[in-house]
Every structure is written in structure tokens, then in C-alpha cells.
């Protein structure tokens, strides 16, 4: 950085924050506003808390001379998405008591609460803590919730990989006492005392950092979208080690070609016991070389593209006792979940439930929140949140499976009637709570899927799974650039349509139509799906078909996202 651009303002906030304390404690007791101080809104993220407001009410309240209806989103850190039934019950109660009568499963295997008001924030945080989970580093410029393969039935090394994910989550967790101090009335830092963040240092990372583990052939965590990915290499049913991937990331900004989504690059292979060291080497390289002047150029992917993959591998190797070995061959087949019952090698059963866009609440049609509460009250098995915003109840005996089946029947939790498209679709939260949303997402996606399902039925391909994802803005929470049909919000009712990603998450899509409304989305898809139905090769996926037929020009390398599609 020879040209000495000024640091971004968030860097100042972090520097002055006394290890993430800022003025949060003062903000919480300020009765004149439902908000926290502006600087604190940056720091609260490190504690897993986003300030939001009800955007449906924003204009109305401005006229009423009232401040926005502020509330807070709280995101828990749940490595690999594992929760005990008791933890589920605790979260269910928190959702009903302090949040908007729901819990939201995220695309990173965590749970979010929306609509928590400031004066109940601390109580809510203490309730989460009492469940033996926390929210530290669920957001912010740190390593966030570590993802791991969801379904235990699919691999003999599942437990070993989950253990590695949990270990890494602990290893990269910030050490600051601010969390205890602000939320749990923990002891105050001695005046003049300086805490040490051995990995992050005083100003943490330049930007958020996402890590995921995966076991091929399932690519449920979308490993190519992660800043740091570990791809399990299995030999003779044993975990031989991991391919190491770096520099994936989804976020971009409309109209700013210098920002782009990027697939992670494979830089080598490491043994299972080297995972934490490798991760630390990657994280500290990003800490030292990431761009702290421009938040839109600060993710690891830009650091790598600025310096080159080879340079980056050298940096990582320099920080390791043993350099990375050459990567092994791996094969991915798909990114989605496998619904219904599956049996693990130890004979235990798990059931994957379809949760539309991860939203668990009771509605007039279905008492979904009550259903899961009732399941959790049985005290059986373990709850696993999936990267596709679904829930698995795992580790059941035959008898427990029968008990669960009765409840599945009673509450209509089966996924048989869920279409192939709907089962493979995800959407981010969007309006009304997300401050970044430009268009509807979670509230609209179900309706759009119904329309597209009608097109698929018309063309006789209703049973072909197509990965469809929607986000209300270009930041990519639902990984829309890895969807065969990607919809990215531009304005209320208007989306960019992106097409041609691989079904297994190895190829991004490309912009096909910009800023179009529902009618145009459906007309465009109708024509393409018609072609697909007529000319599809055996078992060919929609994204692959569009590439093969040249509708989407495949440009190869991941760093050419903005090259025109056709």
C-alpha cells in the first residue's frame, strides 16, 4: 500500500473500540432512542447483533416524526449447526418471548432472531448464553460460524470432520472479554490493561471471513463460496486430510465492476491435525495484507487477486511448519439436501425436514414452530441446521424414529409434496428487516417458485431439480451466484436474472437479464425451460444445458464474472 489511502472508518471504530467494547453499554441504557450509537452498530456485529429497522414502516414513521422502528437481529454461533433438544427449546422460547414469534435458520447453519428491541437485547443475549451457545463472532470482521456437512448418514468421516470444524471454530474465536462484560455483566477490563487477541490483533480482520468444511460428493456447504474451505479427502473410510481452498466469496455491488463474486482457489492439501495451523496462516495473511482502506475491496478474494494465488500460497506456507502438499482429486455431485429418513452406519436414523427459506413460525396453515418444539420436547437425538436452511433430526433409535414419525404425521412435516424446485431453493431474509435489501426475498420467493413450478409442469419437467436462489441485494447471503437460476434484487419487484451455474456448485452463473419484473422473469424462463425440456441430454442439469447450448457463454475462470453472458 504505497499510495497511503486513508483507512476505512470501520478501522477507526475497531481501533478505538477497546477490543470491541465501544460505547455499547451506554447505548443500551439510552432511553431516547431504540437504536445504539452509530459506531456501536459496527461493533455490535462482532457480538452477533445487527441493528435493523422495520422498512415497511420507515416512510410512515418519518412522517410521524418518529425514529425508524429499530430492532435487532441476533445471530447465534452454532458450529456445524449442531443443537441439543434443550438448546432448541431454549431458542424456541427466545423466539416467542423476545423476537417476532419465529426463529430463522440461516444459510450458514446458524439461527437468527429478528425484531428484538433494545431494552430486551441484554436479556435475550443472557438467555442465549444460558443455553450454552453464544453469538460472539457470528457477524463482524472475524471468522464467522464455521460450516460443516449436515447429514451424518452420508459419510463415515462425518464425526471427524464435525470435530475439526468445532475445533477450528474455537481456535478462531475472538478472545476479548467485551462479550462477557457487555452482555453477561462480566468483570470489567482493568483500566490500562490490554487484552491480547493472539490471532486477530487489535483491529481484527479487514472484513468478514467465512470457513466451511465439506465431504464430497455432497457440496452442501457450497465450499467454493467460502473464504476458506476444507474439502475432506477420504481413503478407506478414513479421513486422510483436506484440500485447502481460499478466496471464495459471494458479495458484490450493483454497478461496481471492481466488486465480484469469486470461486475459491485450491492451494494444496493438509493433514487433519494441521487444520488449525493452516487456517491461522490463511487468516493472519489476510489480516496482514487485506485492504483496510476500502470495505468493498477487503474480502480475502480481493487480497488473493491483488497478489496472485501463488504469492498467497507462499505466504501461507511461510507461516506453516510444513508446507501444503499438492491437492488431491475430488468429485462433487450436488449442493442440495436429501429429504426424509436416512440411516447412518451405526444404525441410527436421521430425518431431513424441508423448511421453506429457513423460517420457522406458526402460521394459519401449519404450526411449524409448535411442531419442532414438540419434537424437541421428546428429548431425543440432535438437531442439525443445514446450509440449505433446513433442519435434520439426527441420531434416533428405531423406537425414537417411530415416535418422531407420529409427530411428522400429526404436524404434516413430511416433504413428499415439496416440488423438486422448491426443495432446492433458498432465499435470504430481505424485507422488512434487512437494511441492505433492495427487493423482497423470503416473503416473495415461495410465490415465484409456485409460478416457475407451473412452467416446469407445463413443459413436463416438474421432477427435475433445479437450484434456484434469491437475494434481496447483491451481497449474496443465499449464495445466488452459485444457483442455476439466480435472482438478485435491484429494486422493489425487480431482479437481475443470472443463469448457468453448475448443479454441484463448481461454476458460477452469469447475468442474463438485468432489472426485470416478474412477468419478464417468467417469460424468459418459460422460453428457456421449454428449450431445456425439448433438447435436454440424459440427466442433464439446467445450468449445464444453458452452457452446452451456448445460451450462457462459459468463460472459464472464476474471475471473469462480469464478462457478458451471451
Partner 1 sequence: MSTPASKIPPALPLATEQLDALTALGKSMRPEALLWSSGYLAGLAAATGSAVTAPDAPAATQTESDAQLTILYGSQTGNGQRLAEELAVQAAQRSVSARIVNMADYRAQEIKKETAVALIVSTHGEGDPPDDAEALYEYLHSDRAPKLASLNYTVLALGDSSYAQFCQTGIDFDERLAELGASRLHNRVDCDTDYAAAAEAWADATLTAANEHLGASSVRSVPTLHAVQSARYTAEHPLAAEVIVNQKITGRASTKDVRHVEFDLSGSGLEYQPGDALGVVVANPPVLVDEFCDVLSLDRDIDVDGTSLATLLSERFEITVASRAFVERYAELAGSDGLKALLADDAREQLVAYIADRQIIDIVREHPSSPDAARFVECLRPLKPRLYSIASSPLVSEDEVAVTVAAVRYEAFGRPHWGAASTHLADRTDVGDVLSVYVEANPRFRLPEDPAAAVIMIGPGTGVAPFRAFLEHRDATGASGKNWLFFGDRNSREDFLYQLDWARYRKRGLLTNMDVAFSRDQADKVYVQDRLREHAAELFAWLEEGAHIYVCGDASQMAPDVHEALLDVIAAGLGKGRDAAEDYLKTLRRAGRYQRDVY
CA atoms within 13 Å, Cβ hemisphere of 146: 23
Task: Using CB under 8 A, count the residues that bind partner 1.
Answer: 28
Question: Rounded to an integer, what distance in angstroms lies between the CA atom of residue 553 and that of residue 563?
Answer: 9
Single out the catalytic residue among 173, 473, 510, 536.
473
Q: Tell whether residue 454 is a contact of partner 1 (CB under 8 A).
A: no
From residue 554, how far is each of 7, 13, 258 by CA, in Å?
37, 42, 20
- Label each residue of 374-424 as H, E or C: HHHHCCCCEEEECCCCCEEEEEECHHHHHHHHHHHHHCCCCCCCCCHHHHC
Stretch that binds partner 1, among 28-36, 99-107, 189-197, 235-243 (CB under 8 A): 28-36
**208 by DSSP, 3-state: which?**
coil
Question: Rounded to an integer, what distance in angstroms lies between the CA atom of residue 508 and that of residue 252?
Answer: 14
Q: Cβ distance 200 to 142 under 8 Å?
A: yes
Question: Annotated catalytic, 434?
Answer: yes
Residues 6+ apart with CB under 8 A from 43: 13, 14, 17, 20, 21, 22, 24, 140
Q: Tell whether residue 438 is a contact of partner 1 (CB under 8 A).
A: yes
The footprint of partner 1 on residues 465-494 (CB under 8 A) is 490-492, 494
Q: CB-wise, 308 or 492, nearer to partner 1?
A: 492
Binding mask 45-74 for partner 1 (x = CB under 8 A): ------------xxxxxxxxxxx-x-----
Q: CB-wise, 275 or 438, nearer to partner 1?
A: 438
Question: Could you tell me the smallest distance in angstroms from the CB atom of residue 435 to partner 1?
Answer: 10
DSSP letter string, 55-90:
TTSHHHHHHTT----EEEEEE-B-GGGEE-HHHHHH
Question: Rounded to an integer, what distance in angstroms lies between the CA atom of residue 255 and that of residue 533?
Answer: 34
Q: Tell whether residue 7 is a contact of partner 1 (CB under 8 A).
A: no
Question: Annotated catalytic, 14?
Answer: no
Question: Could you tell me the smallest distance in angstroms from the CB atom of residue 390 to partner 1?
Answer: 32
Single out the catalytic residue among 82, 144, 207, 373.
144
**Residue 110 buriedness (CB in 10 A; 0-12 / 13-18 / 19+):** buried
Single out the catalytic residue among 14, 477, 479, 507.
477
Question: Could you tell me the smallest distance in angstroms from the CB atom of residue 8 to partner 1?
Answer: 11
Question: Annotated catalytic, 139?
Answer: no
Stretch that binds partner 1, among 251-259, 347-355, 383-391, 478-486 (CB under 8 A): 251-259
Q: Tell whether residue 345 is a contact of partner 1 (CB under 8 A).
A: no
Stretch that binds partner 1, among 250-258, 280-288, 328-336, 466-474 (CB under 8 A): 250-258
Count CB-CB contacts under 10 A for residue 28: 16
Question: Rounded to an integer, what distance in angstroms lies between the CA atom of residue 243 and that of residue 285?
Answer: 18
The footprint of partner 1 on residues 494-553 (CB under 8 A) is 494, 514-515
Question: Annotated catalytic, 208?
Answer: yes
Question: Annotated catalytic, 173?
Answer: no
Question: Annotated catalytic, 477?
Answer: yes
Q: Tell whether residue 32 is a contact of partner 1 (CB under 8 A).
A: yes
What residues make contact with partner 1 under the rule CB under 8 A? 31-34, 57-67, 69, 117, 119, 254-256, 438, 490-492, 494, 514-515
- Positions marked active-site: 75, 144, 208, 210, 428, 434, 473, 477
Amino acid at each position: 500500500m504505497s499510495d497511503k489511502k486513508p483507512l476505512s472508518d470501520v478501522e477507526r471504530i475497531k481501533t478505538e473500540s477497546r477490543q470491541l467494547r465501544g460505547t455499547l453499554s451506554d447505548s443500551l441504557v439510552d432511553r431516547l432512542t431504540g437504536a445504539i450509537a452509530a459506531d456501536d452498530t459496527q461493533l455490535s456485529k462482532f457480538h452477533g447483533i445487527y441493528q435493523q429497522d422495520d422498512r415497511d414502516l420507515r416512510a410512515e414513521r418519518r412522517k410521524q416524526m418518529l425514529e425508524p422502528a429499530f430492532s435487532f437481529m441476533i445471530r447465534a454461533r452454532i458450529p456445524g449447526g449442531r443443537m441439543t433438544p434443550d438448546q432448541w427449546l431454549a431458542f424456541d422460547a427466545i423466539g416467542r418471548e423476545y423476537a417476532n414469534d419465529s426463529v430463522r435458520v440461516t444459510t450458514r447453519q446458524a439461527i437468527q432472531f429478528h425484531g428484538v428491541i433494545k431494552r430486551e437485547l441484554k436479556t435475550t443475549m443472557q438467555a442465549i448464553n444460558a443455553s450454552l451457545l453464544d453469538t460472539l463472532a457470528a457477524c463482524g470482521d472475524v471468522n464467522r460460524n464455521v460450516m460443516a456437512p449436515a447429514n451424518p448418514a452420508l459419510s463415515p468421516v462425518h464425526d471427524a470432520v464435525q470435530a475439526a470444524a468445532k475445533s477450528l471454530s474455537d481456535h478462531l474465536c475472538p478472545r476479548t472479554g467485551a462479550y462477557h462484560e457487555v452482555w453477561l455483566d462480566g468483570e470489567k477490563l482493568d483500566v490500562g490493561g490490554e487484552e491480547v487477541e493472539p490471532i486477530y490483533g487489535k483491529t481484527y480482520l479487514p472484513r468478514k471471513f467465512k470457513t466451511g468444511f465439506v465431504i464430497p460428493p455432497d457440496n452442501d456447504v457450497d465450499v467454493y463460496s467460502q473464504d476458506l474451505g476444507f474439502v475432506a479427502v477420504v481413503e478407506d473410510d478414513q479421513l486422510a486430510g483436506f484440500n485447502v481452498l481460499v478466496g471464495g466469496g459471494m458479495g458484490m455491488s450493483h454497478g461496481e465492476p471492481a466488486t465480484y463474486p469469486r470461486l475459491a482457489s485450491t492451494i494444496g492439501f493438509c493433514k487433519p491435525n494441521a487444520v488449525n495451523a493452516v487456517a491461522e496462516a490463511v487468516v493472519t495473511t489476510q489480516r496482514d495484507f487485506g485492504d483496510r482502506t476500502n470495505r468493498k475491496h477487503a474480502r480475502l478474494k480481493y487480497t488473493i487477486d491483488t497478489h496472485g494465488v501463488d504469492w498467497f500460497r507462499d505466504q501461507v506456507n511461510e507461516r506453516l511448519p510444513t508446507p501444503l502438499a499438492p491437492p488431491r482429486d475430488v468429485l462433487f455431485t450436488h449442493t442440495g439436501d436429501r429429504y426424509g429418513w436416512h440411516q447412518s452406519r451405526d444404525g441410527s436414523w436421521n430425518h431431513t425436514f424441508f423448511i421453506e427459506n429457513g423460517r420457522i413460525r406458526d402460521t394459519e396453515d401449519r404450526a411449524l414452530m409448535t411442531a419442532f418444539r414438540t419434537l424437541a420436547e421428546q428429548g431425543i437425538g440432535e438437531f442439525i441446521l443445514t446450509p440449505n436452511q433446513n433442519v435434520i433430526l439426527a441420531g434416533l433409535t428405531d423406537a425414537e424414529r417411530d415416535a418422531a414419525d407420529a409427530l411428522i404425521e400429526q404436524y404434516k412435516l413430511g416433504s413428499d409434496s415439496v416440488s423438486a424446485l422448491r426443495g432446492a431453493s433458498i432465499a435470504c431474509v430481505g424485507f422488512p428487516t434487512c437494511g441492505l435489501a433492495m427487493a423482497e426475498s423470503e416473503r416473495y420467493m415461495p410465490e415465484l417458485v409456485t409460478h416457475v413450478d407451473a412452467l416446469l409442469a407445463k413443459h413436463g419437467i416438474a421432477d427435475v431439480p433445479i437450484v434456484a436462489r434469491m437475494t434481496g441485494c447483491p451481497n449474496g447471503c443465499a449464495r445466488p451466484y452459485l444457483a442455476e437460476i439466480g435472482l438478485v434484487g435491484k429494486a422493489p419487484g425487480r431482479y437481475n436474472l443470472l443463469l448457468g451455474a453448475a448443479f454441484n456448485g463448481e461454476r458460477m452463473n452469469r447475468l442474463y437479464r438485468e432489472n426485470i419484473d416478474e412477468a419478464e422473469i417468467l417469460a424468459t424462463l418459460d422460453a428457456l425451460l421449454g428449450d431445456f425440456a425439448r433438447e435436454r441430454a440424459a440427466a442433464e442439469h439446467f445450468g449445464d444445458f444453458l452452457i452446452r447450448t451456448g445460451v450462457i457463454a462459459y468463460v472459464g475462470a472464476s474471475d471473469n464474472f462480469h464478462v457478458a453472458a451471451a
